[in-house]
Amino acid sequence: MRFIFKTDYDQDIRILKHSGYWWSYGVLLAVMLAAPYLLGSYLQSQLVFVFIYAIVGVALMILTGFTGQASLGHAAFLAIGAYTAGFMQSLGVPFIVYFPLAAILTGVVGALVGFPALRLHGIYLVIATIAFAFIVEEVLARWESVTHGNEGMRVRALDLLGMPVPRDSEAFYYLCLLVLVGAVLLALNLLRSPTGRAFVAIRDSETAGKSMGIDLAAYKVKSFAISAAITGLAGVLFAHKMTFISPEMFTLLLSIEFIMVIIIGGAFGVHGAIFGAIFIVMVDPFLTALKDDLPVLVASIGDSLGMSPEAAGQLREKLAKIGSAAGLKGAIYGLIIMMFILFEPYGLYGRWLKVKLFFQLFPLYKRATFKRQKTYVKSERNR
């Protein structure tokens, strides 16, 4: 176990707290930089989606994880970012202009959503954000002169200062990685400065925050604006990755997926957003692979256990039939969400921390360290 002897305030302020961090994050960054040359184009493309989801995850982490304001409307912010990119590009505006412009525009919209949110709590806020997202979706479908309505909109390849950056290129991969790293650094910087602490204070006790000099209205609006702006950036990247956008891509289900990113990852740190994004993006290809391979695998296990070939064949057929049933993916999706909240409430990052602690304390680790205490419900309505 490592003991850190603090002699300097900088030791607490630094993002990379000690040499171990330099090593592990350095290696991670090196692997990420080398990835396009190591992985096939399919995995590289999946990684780009991981980055985009992780950027939105970081944005949601700022709003929901740190400030405690729930939102089921982030798909709308993503949509605004994506459509800004599509529309601006069709007008011939260069990328370096519309990229920041998308962030500013979504940031302003986010602040506008933040204003009514000042007085809303918990479930009221969730519903208000859902309502907002529905309205944005409808506007996108009806405002045909800009968005081409339900027909959708083509987005041409990204053009960075005259250099084309197609969706599958290494350059696009690095651009997404760069934006993600930027978003992560921004979130970490906020966390170690007064604004981030004010966010956390609002999450834990509004009254105390007010008495400590925190202007609730200003900071809630700031949190919404920052979160929306980062999501807007992700939206631009999303538009260029998809090359085609239409209103039905930005539904409530996408917002739910974003929330799942932080719940599955663990809603109390930036790590969670990354872990969650990896999980959400990879679960789909994983399920597809499972659908194809599992029946064969089970049958071959049955075979080796002395099952007759006909019985094994029947088993394989049966499993394949269940596997190809229409709604299976949704059911597994639902199960995953429920299982995570039931058994892994601190998310993947929480599990990672537990495993780390287990090895740090090796023979002495106690299961009860993370055991949940018995809880009961006392009305939260009185606040």
3 state DSSP class of 105: helix
Within 56-95, which residues bind another protein (CB under 8 A)?
Answer: 64, 70
Check: CB of residue 235 under 8 Å from CB of residue 106: yes
Which residues, 6+ apart, have CB-to-CB distance to 45 below 8 Å? 168
Candidate segments 34-42, 286-294, 319-327, 350-358, binder of another protein by CB under 8 A = 319-327
Closer Cβ to another protein, 48 or 136, answer by number: 136
Of positions 203, 246, 307, 314, contacts another protein by CB under 8 A = 203
Which residue from 77, 86, 128 is spatially nearest to 104, judged by alpha carbons?
77
Of positions 35, 43, 216, 282, contacts another protein by CB under 8 A = 216
Closer Cβ to another protein, 141 or 353, answer by number: 141
Of positions 26, 166, 285, 334, contacts another protein by CB under 8 A = 334
Quote the CA–CA distance of 318 and 17 in Å, as a whole number.
54
Quote the CA–CA distance of 57 and 270 in Å, as a whole number.
8
End-to-end CA distance of the chain: 43
Within 339-368, which residues bind another protein (CB under 8 A)?
Answer: 341-342, 345
Alpha-carbon dihedral of residues 267, 123, 118, 261, nearest 10 degrees? 30
Size of the site for another protein (CB under 8 A): 82
Shortest Å, Cβ 341 to another protein = 4
Candidate segments 48-56, 169-177, 203-211, 284-292, binder of another protein by CB under 8 A = 203-211
Shortest Å, Cβ 69 to another protein = 10
Closer Cβ to another protein, 215 or 293, answer by number: 215
b/e sequence 47-73, b meaning 16+ C-beta within 10 Å: bbbbbbbbbbbbbbbbbbbbbbbbbbb
Q: Is 371 in the site for another protein (CB under 8 A)?
A: no
Quote the CA–CA distance of 165 and 36 in Å, as a whole number.
15
Of positions 114, 209, 265, 276, contacts another protein by CB under 8 A = 209
Q: Is 7 in the site for another protein (CB under 8 A)?
A: no
Of positions 215, 284, 293, 317, contacts another protein by CB under 8 A = 215
Candidate segments 41-49, 79-87, 192-200, 349-357, binder of another protein by CB under 8 A = 192-200
Of positions 59, 111, 260, 278, contacts another protein by CB under 8 A = 260
Q: Is 9 in the site for another protein (CB under 8 A)?
A: yes
Within 117-176, which residues bind another protein (CB under 8 A)?
Answer: 119-124, 126-128, 130-132, 134-135, 138, 141-142
Give me the residues paired with residue 154 across strands: 244
**How many residues in the chain?**
383
Q: Is 335 in the site for another protein (CB under 8 A)?
A: yes
Closer Cβ to another protein, 145 or 375, answer by number: 375
CA distances from 252 to 68, 73, 167 (A): 20, 7, 26
Cβ atoms within 10 Å, residue 175: 20
Q: Is 321 in the site for another protein (CB under 8 A)?
A: no
CA distances from 172 to 62, 126, 182, 205, 238 (A): 25, 34, 15, 42, 11
What is the chain's alpha carbon radius of gyration, rounded to the nearest angstrom?
Answer: 23
Query: Which residue's entry shows tokens 């590009």?
Result: 89
